[in-house]
Amino acid sequence: MQASTIAHVLRPLVDQPQQADAQPAQPETWRTRLWTCPAETRLGVREVAEAIGHPVSWVYRRTQKTATDRLPFRRLDGELVFTAGELRAWIRAAEEIVSAGPMDTPQHLKVVNR
């Protein structure tokens, strides 16, 4: 193929205006990724803080021996390491359900009257 032929084929693509209404994709945050990633996914302190919606200092306080409701964590070379599955279980156990709707209870947890 000659250069002029390639230029002729590509010209319409170059001349097309960019769509003004196209929204750039927002990066997914750990607030949502925590619930969709594999259970063995490891997170650091910053990711946990973002996922739970608290500052990093709150995460550190929740890993101290004196904390009443400690986060599940490990240490790797002195760094705190968390797993997504353990964090999800901790959140479910720690949350207070004020008013559960019909979709809030997973099917496998529903009580069946016999």
Mean pLDDT of 82-107: 84
Q: What percent of the chain has pLDDT over 70?
A: 78
Q: In the structure, what pLDDT confidence band is assigned to residue 106 with cuts at 50, 70 and 90?
A: low
Question: How far from 70 is each of 18, 27, 95, CA to CA, in Å?
Answer: 50, 29, 14
Dihedral sign computed on CA atoms, order 25, 26, 30, 33: negative
Whether the model clears a pTM of 0.75, i.e. scores above it, the answer is: no
C-alpha 17/C-alpha 19 separation (Å) is 6
Mean pLDDT of 23-51: 91
Higher-confidence position of 24 and 26: 26
The CB-side HSE value for 21 (13 A sphere, CA atoms) comes to 0
Those residues whose C-beta lies under 8 Å from the C-beta of residue 89, and which sit 6 or more positions away, are: 72
pLDDT of 41 > 90? The answer is yes
Both tokens of 50, joined, read 């973002």
